[in-house]
Structure 1
């Protein structure tokens, strides 16, 4: 069995499986296999106990949580499932600055917008563990941008031969919203001949797919708070996840909110987004009491 980049490199000869869809377990056997592979990287001797803190999309419902517990319970000795935006906020938090009155604690009065591959998760944080009412999950994210970009390319170049992996890579290397700042070409095969075709505008169109729903969800989530709290949260919207790296997306979201009359809205990018959730998970693991961890036999 091949995993990750190795599987993608050998894709011509493999039947690729995607354990997750929209951030949720959809292929349970594949999810068990992949998590088993991850465990083997942590404890290759197979004898050590391994406990895991795992992020889930915001407001995951009971059947989807049960699937995740099943996949985790097959591989880990104990585990915790925590909303991913909350883990991101903990990862952003700098404990050394908590006593600084000028420091804005991301766990208090902020909104995390985590743009992933399968889902975009929004979470109000007010200094305590978020409830379902504090979270919104948009089942549209990076994978949907890939699909939209492929559709746009096929519409413009109907004879081109495309592979999903190639579309994802050109998007990840050149993603932006707003006016194109450079010419982007993609090597495609048309009628058996290689050609370099211009796809700049198509990338921009595809990447804007998420902006309206994010803006609408930010507004809806803010309305669930008292006005004073909502004003503080809207002034501290933090983007994270792979989709946060789309050039121009913080500015576009902020401008759209201003156009809707939210003049105090401020949207910023979290630094080092790839490490935030894992850093937050480590903090949770250190804070959790023994009785808070789930046992596979009891999950």
Structure 2
């Protein structure tokens, strides 16, 4: 490993958003997506070949946008079962690499300094396969000198210094990951990944909303924004009133019922997975796990989710559920903390970065 002072980076490579933090004191969050101009007019208007960040939303009509981990693809699912052709797989791999490079660029104090080694810890779903992890390592190899791939919920627990007697439930857009914490790094078989998350809620909400209000015009971005602002699972005290266009005219709609029903699709699978995972452990340890359940990820912010899970576990001896204070950065901050403390044998050295630029637009142009 290089002896000069490295830059340490922690990254939560999420399905919908990627958060990143560096030892230089910078942190940022971006959509986990890449956009390519649809034609030469769009390229002229945008003035670039690849688009990241908030510009993806502002200029989405002029872009071909790829979310490489949509519904957990490539981070958890097998490429073959995801229905990707070889050509699509190549483009998704390039998109992943460009997202990682751009995220690192945002938190590097001197992005043009290619001599300084960069070590990174990247979070992946709890039950990601060897193939999934290798896909991430290959994408990271163009910007990192060494990488450690860890379970996303474990990085949350590490950042909170909850290293024993805890159960972390990380609710992302594509997967829900559940990880027991008991003083050592948990084995893969001790963790659970559910192929369900915020994307599934969005789909269910849109389906129910259109069934109730057939004339409503709504995009997936609008659906997501409503969910993030009003999303809830508890029984009382919530109401979601929004203006939605009907034949181009903004019209008030009560979306409380379809929104609640959509958000509740997460509750049953989470409770069942928690119950099954806890049952695997020694009876004396089960009580400690139930009394220290931590919700992380964007889905943890659904109103009432902590209380609903507690109520569902009453018959199993009760539970205490808390939410992370900063759902956006909890994973990245924990990964950074882990990177700073990582022993030399914990890193996977990568050789692909040597002699390469951190901004390779040539491949991006060819992929467009």
Q: Same fold (TM over 0.5)?
A: yes
Residue 91 of structure 1 corresponds to 159
Question: Does residue 1:289 correspond to 2:335, yes or no?
Answer: no
Secondary structure of the corresponding residue to residue 335 of structure 2: helix
On the 8 A contact 2:169/2:296 being kept in 1, the answer is yes
Residue 58 of structure 1 corresponds to 126
Deviation at 1:124, TM superposition (A): 0.8
Secondary structure of the corresponding residue to residue 94 of structure 2: helix
For the aligned residues, what is the CA RMSD? 1.8
Residue 32 of structure 2 corresponds to none
Residue 218 of structure 1 corresponds to 274
Deviation at 1:54, TM superposition (A): 0.4
State the alpha-carbon separation in 2 of the partners of residues 57 and 31 from structure 1: 16
State the alpha-carbon separation in 2 of the partners of residues 92 and 127 from structure 1: 13
Secondary structure of the corresponding residue to residue 74 of structure 1: coil
Runs of 4+ in 1 over 3 A off after TM superposition: 22-26
State the alpha-carbon separation in 1 of the partners of residues 132 and 272 from structure 2: 25
State the alpha-carbon separation in 1 of the partners of residues 182 and 52 from structure 2: 39
On the 8 A contact 2:311/2:318 being kept in 1, the answer is no
Secondary structure of the corresponding residue to residue 279 of structure 1: helix
User: Which residues of structure 2 form unaligned runs of 5+?
Assistant: 1-49, 80-91, 353-368
On the 8 A contact 1:24/1:57 being kept in 2, the answer is no
Q: Give runs of aligned pairs for residues 4-43 of structure 1, distance below 5 A.
A: 4-25=53-74, 27-43=92-108
State the alpha-carbon separation in 1 of the partners of residues 331 and 238 from structure 2: 32
Deviates more, 1:165-174 or 1:152-161: 152-161
Task: Count how many residue pairs are aligned between Structure 1 and Structure 2.
Answer: 285
Residue 276 of structure 1 corresponds to 330
Deviates more, 1:78-87 or 1:173-182: 173-182
Secondary structure of the corresponding residue to residue 38 of structure 1: helix
Alignment TM-score, normalising by the size of structure 1: 0.90
Alignment TM-score, normalising by the size of structure 2: 0.73
Residue 86 of structure 2 corresponds to none
Question: Does residue 1:249 correspond to 2:305, yes or no?
Answer: yes
Deviations 1:43-77 (A, max 9, x none): 32152332211001011112211211111112222
On the 8 A contact 1:115/1:121 being kept in 2, the answer is yes
Secondary structure of the corresponding residue to residue 168 of structure 1: helix
State the alpha-carbon separation in 1 of the partners of residues 289 and 241 from structure 2: 40
The structure 2 residue matched to 1:107, chosen from 163, 178, 185, is 163
State the alpha-carbon separation in 2 of the partners of residues 282 and 91 from structure 1: 8
State the alpha-carbon separation in 1 of the partners of residues 113 and 257 from structure 2: 50
Deviations 1:7-42 (A, max 9, x none): 112112212210212345372121111112112223
On the 8 A contact 1:84/1:277 being kept in 2, the answer is yes
Deviates more, 1:159-168 or 1:266-275: 266-275
On the 8 A contact 1:180/1:201 being kept in 2, the answer is no
On the 8 A contact 1:125/1:134 being kept in 2, the answer is no
Deviation at 1:160, TM superposition (A): 2.0
Secondary structure of the corresponding residue to residue 307 of structure 2: helix
State the alpha-carbon separation in 2 of the partners of residues 22 and 73 from structure 1: 24
State the alpha-carbon separation in 2 of the partners of residues 183 and 89 from structure 1: 33
Deviation at 1:185, TM superposition (A): 2.6
Deviation at 1:211, TM superposition (A): 0.3
Distance 1:194 1:264, change over 3 A: closer
State the alpha-carbon separation in 1 of the partners of residues 335 and 160 from structure 2: 11
